[in-house]
Each structure stands twice: as structure tokens, then as C-alpha cells.
């Protein structure tokens, strides 16, 4: 395959970025997208150029680090996959591919395609955990959980924190990410004691980080590689409202 690659280059979040155009040849359609970027970087290094910085780790669709906009869509043209699971057979010979970093004020560019997503870590640190006494682990069947709740918790826990929901949202909202982290615990008995204070704390931290508000476009659900649904946002909104009512009553 012969390809034209237009890739975003930016030294840091203080500098002005621009697109660079590169030509690639003899790209196998069986290559993954990240392997194609590896080939591009080898070509650039051999030419004495600074290679393109991009995040990657597991390359198995688990870690969520391979975040990039490809031809106007987070993680590329297919649904339900991350960039590392995208293969070059998804593109045509001679095609021009445009690669950009996530575009969000809450995700400042560190370099090229790498953005700072530590805001997600701070949202989780605000309440995405349970407080328990230490000691021996309980038997797996000591806390019965009905299948519907277990399935809902498991589905929400599939969130890998890649940030595609933020990148896809026209408002740059992190509601789907935050809701997934809240829902996975709200559906379990272990998460009940701190359920409502958790929702309030995490939503407040999300707002503090500068993410936009949700206006129900639904783009987050469409582009989520783990196909987490808007139902998690509905649960989060209910829990946040309940937390506000409890606070007003106690106040």
C-alpha cells in the first residue's frame, strides 16, 4: 500500500502545532495502525528527523493509551475497537490519513499525539474507590449479587479511560467516563455505603478539571471502544441528585 500521512506535530502545549505530510510505501494491509506509525518513525529517524511521539502500551485493546483522532474519528473508522486493534486493510491504497491528538482543554498536548489525561486520574481519586477494613478476603459467594447488577457493573468496569468519549463530544464532556467509574461501584453491595457522596465528589472534580457539560448528543456512546452506554450517565445523574437532596435535608 502507498499512503500519504498527515500527522499533527507540536512540541508542547505552549507551542503552536502544525500538520506534517509524509509518504509511505510498501505498507502491508495486515499491519496494525500503530505498526504503520512505527514504520513512519523508522523512516523519519533514518532521515535524521524527530519521530512522532504517540502513546502505546499493551497493543491489545486493554490499556487505553493509544488515543488518537484518525480521519476525524476517535480510534479510526470502526466502532468498538481501539487504535491498536485497527489494521491497515481498513484503508485504501493511495489514501490520505489524517492523524491528530485528542482535542480538549482538559487534555493538554504534551507532544505531538500525546496528551495529558491525568485529569481522569484525579476524578477517580476523588471517589472511585470503596473504604473497607483490611484483613482476609471474603469468600466470593459471601455477598450475593443478582446477575442484572453484576452484568451492569462489569459492563461499566470495562472502561479503559482512553478519553474517546471526551474527544468525540462537541462539548468535551467527561460524563461517560465519570459515570462508568461511578456505576461499576453503585451496582455492587460494596459500593453502597459511599454511593452518593462518591457521585457528588467525582462530578465536582470532573467540573473542576474543566470538562464541558453533557447535552445528550450521544457521540460518546458511539465512539466508546468498550461500547459503554448512556444508561451509566442516567444512573450517575440520579445518584448526584440524591446526594444533593440528602445534603439539603441534613443541612
Query: Is a pLDDT exceeding 70 seen at residue 251?
Result: no
List alpha helices for 118-230, DSSP H.
118-125, 147-157, 164-168, 175-186, 195-208, 219-223
Fold of the CATH domain 3-110:
Ubiquitin-like (UB roll) (3.10.20)
Fold of the CATH domain 117-132+141-250:
Fumarate Reductase Iron-sulfur Protein; Chain B, domain 2 (1.10.1060)
**Strand, coil or helix: what is 148?**
helix
Where does residue 48 fall: left (phi above 0), alpha (psi -120 to 50 degrees), or beta otherwise? left
Distance in Å from the first CA to the final CA of the chain: 66
So what's the pLDDT on residue 142? Answer: 79
pLDDT tens figures, 149-208: 999 999 999 999 999 999 999 999 999 999 999 999 999 999 999 999 999 999 999 999
pLDDT tens figures, 100-149: 999 999 999 999 999 999 999 999 999 999 887 777 777 767 788 999 99
So what's the pLDDT on residue 79? Answer: 94
So what's the pLDDT on residue 248? Answer: 76
DSSP character string of 193-219? TTHHHHHHHHHHHHHHTTPBPP----H
- pTM exceeds cut of 0.85: yes
Domain boundaries, the chain: 3-110, 117-132+141-250
Q: Kind of pairing, strands 73-74 and 96-100? A: unpaired
The cell numbers describing 74, all together, are 476517535
pLDDT tens figures, 46-59: 999 999 999 999 99
pLDDT tens figures, 34-49: 999 999 999 999 999 9
Amino acid at each position: 500500500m502507498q499512503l500519504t500521512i498527515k500527522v499533527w506535530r507540536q512540541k508542547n502545549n505552549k507551542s503552536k502545532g502544525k500538520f506534517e505530510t509524509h509518504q509511505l510505501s510498501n505498507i502491508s494491509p495486515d499491519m496494525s495502525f500503530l505498526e504503520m506509525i512505527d514504520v513512519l518513525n523508522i523512516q523519519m529517524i533514518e532521515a535524521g528527523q524527530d519521530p512522532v511521539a504517540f502513546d502505546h502500551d499493551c497493543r491489545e485493546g486493554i490499556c487505553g493509551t493509544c488515543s488518537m483522532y484518525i480521519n476525524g474519528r476517535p480510534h479510526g473508522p470502526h466502532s468498538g475497537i481501539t487504535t491498536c486493534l485497527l489494521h491497515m486493510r481498513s484503508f485504501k491504497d493511495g489514501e490520505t490519513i489524517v492523524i491528530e491528538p485528542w482535542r480538549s482543554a482538559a487534555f493538554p498536548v504534551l507532544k505531538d499525539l500525546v496528551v495529558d489525561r491525568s485529569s481522569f486520574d484525579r476524578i477517580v481519586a476523588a471517589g472511585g474507590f470503596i473504604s473497607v477494613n483490611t484483613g482476609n478476603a471474603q469468600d466470593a459467594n459471601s455477598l450475593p449479587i443478582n446477575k442484572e447488577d453484576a452484568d451492569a457493573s462489569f459492563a461499566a468496569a470495562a472502561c479503559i479511560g482512553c478519553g474517546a468519549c471526551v474527544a468525540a463530544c462537541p462539548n468535551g464532556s467527561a460524563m461517560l467516563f465519570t459515570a462508568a467509574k461511578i456505576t461499576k461501584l453503585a451496582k455492587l453491595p460494596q459500593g453502597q455505603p459511599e454511593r452518593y457522596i462518591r457521585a457528588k465528589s467525582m462530578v465536582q472534580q470532573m467540573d473542576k478539571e474543566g470538562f464541558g457539560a453533557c447535552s445528550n448528543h450521544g457521540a460518546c456512546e458511539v465512539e466508546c471502544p468498550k461500547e459503554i452506554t448512556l444508561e451509566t450517565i442516567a444512573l450517575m445523574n440520579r445518584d448526584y441528585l440524591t446526594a444533593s437532596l440528602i445534603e439539603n435535608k441534613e443541612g
